Amino acid sequence: MKTRVQVVFPAVAPDEPTWPYIGYDVEARSREVTASLERQLPELEFVPFVYRSETQAAAALQGERFDGYLVYMTSMWTGIPELYAREARPVVIADEPYSGSGGFLRVHSMVRQEGLPVVTVGSSNFLDIVNAVRLFDVMRRMREARTLVVADGDVWGARQDVREECKKVFGTEVIQIGSDKLRQYYDAADDQEAERWKDRWIGEAAFVAEPDEKEILRSARLYLALKAAMQEAQADAVTVDCLGLFYAGKLPAYPCLGFFQLNNEGSTGVCEADVDSMITQLVLRYVTGRPGYVSDPVLDTTTGQITYAHCVATNRVFGPGGLTNPYIIRSHAEDHKGAAVQSLMPIGHQVTSAKVSLRHKSLAVHNARTVANVNDEKGCRTKLAAEARVQKLLDNYHFEIFSWHRVTCYGDFRQELINLATLYGLKVYEEDR
């Protein structure tokens, strides 16, 4: 089913002198704009309406419901944008320059003063409108998504209150299973298929450092177990209390290689039963089509670099169909056990890092530019260094809200994430400003 968007074109009487000009053919313009939206967002369905009064628009709002509403301002002073800003959800209001500009400024000021969860776009670049409208599809997918947590009891990142807030904020269901259930999937995994994945990972790696083939085979079986658990739960993302369960002897292997593979193939696998990071990575995937990289950042004010460090990382940072980068199969860093990944990610690229806090209904975001892959035995295996406004990041980190993890995605998607946070009513922390 496609995401359905109502496109509203406010209009005045044809003989009324106003911007853009008297006798402006709003119906013809509505067809042109709708056709442009359909060409650029074929995965969405657009239903255009021309309304010539606030009363007419208000009556229509009581009828059919849509996944999103775009008010495209082709006229001024109709009261229709203000009506949608207060009554419709989610809504984007966009100005057509020299057509609705005065009314756009009025409704934009109202949105800011009243703190309404409305995105306003004042730009001559139609792509800015397209990128904002595309978020309606992200929101629908989040409402329909199911996610999976593997943990025994309430652990720090997947407590019941966090799972409940996920449903309230995003509409996303979080299902929990225990380690015993995952072990059943592990025991039932196909031996030959596990061997194939072991051989593939070894064959595609630049080299294998610490783990032996038996360890990598156990990782392959656990990957198949995670796939089976996700399939049964109809889940589009999974996070595991990997450290707690492995240290307790309840996991036969670390899930690092399994998460590596899930992220490479267009799914989502996240460490440490961290629901906030899982949701952040899922949002990034839906927004960008690219996998995120969960990490423990290290800040260095001397070099002006932030290093994103973890033992799980993709090697397809531009998406499942994108270019690959080299990786090394290593042991897990903290205890030198199991099998993990050291991914040598591309340098010279802008990245966006973000983190949702469900309990605080907030989003943190910053940008950086990748400069190096750090090879140091201390800390986690993959260490991607990037230039950023590190002193600002240090001053604005808000550990008490977002904890340590951040989720990094290649590309500049700051504005899309801020717009999405606005539509959800989340407070935004721009950490590097």
* End-of-domain residue from the set 81, 111, 142: 142
In terms of domains, do 12 and 43 share one? yes
CA distance 344 to 333: 16
pLDDT of residue 156: 84
Does residue 346 have a cis bond before it (omega within 30 degrees)?
no
User: Which residue range is the domain that position 328 belongs to?
Assistant: 145-430
In terms of domains, do 189 and 321 share one? yes
In terms of domains, do 102 and 32 share one? yes
pLDDT (tens digit per residue) in 370-416? 999 999 999 999 999 999 999 999 999 999 999 999 999 999 999 99
In terms of domains, do 160 and 52 share one? no
Residues 337-354: what's their mean pLDDT? 98
Q: What are phi and psi of 432, to 5 degrees?
A: -100, 15
Specify which residues 174 forms β-bridges with.
147
* End-of-domain residue from the set 95, 124, 142: 142
Tokens of 44: 């969405």
pLDDT of residue 1: 85
User: Are 225 and 150 spatial neighbours (Cβ–Cβ below 8 Å)?
Assistant: no
Check the CA dihedral 287-237-2-136 and report its sign. Answer: negative
In terms of domains, do 80 and 153 share one? no
pLDDT of residue 158: 87
Does residue 297 have a cis bond before it (omega within 30 degrees)?
no
If pLDDT is split at 50, 70 and 90, which confidence band does 122 have? very high
In terms of domains, do 93 and 174 share one? no
Please, which residues have CB within 8 angstroms of residue 81's CB and are 6 or more apart in sequence?
A: 10, 71, 73, 93, 100, 103, 104, 107
In terms of domains, do 125 and 183 share one? no
The HSE-up count of residue 322 (CA atoms within 13 Å, CB side) is: 18
Distances (CA, A) of 386 to 61, 294, 309: 47, 15, 11
Any idea what the CATH number is for the domain that residue 34 is in? 3.40.50.10940
Q: What average pLDDT does the structure give for the chain?
A: 97
In terms of domains, do 138 and 161 share one? no
3-state helix, strand, coil split of the chain in percent (to 5) is 40, 25, 35
In terms of domains, do 136 and 231 share one? no
pLDDT of residue 409: 98
Locate tokens 């989003």: which residue? 363
In terms of domains, do 58 and 113 share one? yes
Q: List the alpha helices (DSSP H) in 92-159.
A: 101-114, 126-144
In terms of domains, do 205 and 158 share one? yes
The helix (run of H) or strand (run of E) holding residue 429 is: strand 427-430
CB atoms within 10 A of CB 87: 13
Q: Is the pLDDT of residue 157 over 90?
A: no
In terms of domains, do 89 and 179 share one? no
Strands (E), 228-337: 237-240, 269-270, 293-300, 305-310, 327-330
CA distance 215 to 246: 14
CB atoms within 10 A of CB 33: 21
Distances (CA, A) of 231 to 33, 148, 149, 224: 40, 10, 13, 10
How far is CA 144 from its chain centroid? 15
Check the CA dihedral 316-317-321-323 and report its sign. Answer: negative
Q: Is the pLDDT of residue 24 over 90?
A: yes
* End-of-domain residue from the set 81, 112, 142: 142
pLDDT (tens digit per residue) in 291-332? 999 999 999 999 999 999 999 999 999 999 999 999 999 999
What does DSSP assign to residue 336?
A: S
Residues 70-88: what's their mean pLDDT? 97
Q: Is the pLDDT of residue 70 over 90?
A: yes
pLDDT of residue 79: 97
Residue type (1 letter), 425: G
Q: What is the DSSP string of 300-318?
A: ETTTTEEEEEES---S-TT
Q: List the alpha helices (DSSP H) in 343-431.
A: 390-395, 399-402, 414-424
Q: What are phi and psi of 3, to 5 degrees?
A: -70, 125
The residue count for the chain: 433
Query: Helix (H, G, I), strand (E, B), or coil: what is residue 378?
Result: coil
Tokens of 138: 């992200």
Domains: count for the chain: 2
pLDDT (tens digit per residue) in 178-215? 999 999 999 999 999 999 999 999 999 999 999 999 99
Q: Crossing angle, helix 101-114 and helix 80-87, to 10 degrees?
A: 30
The helix (run of H) or strand (run of E) holding residue 77 is: none
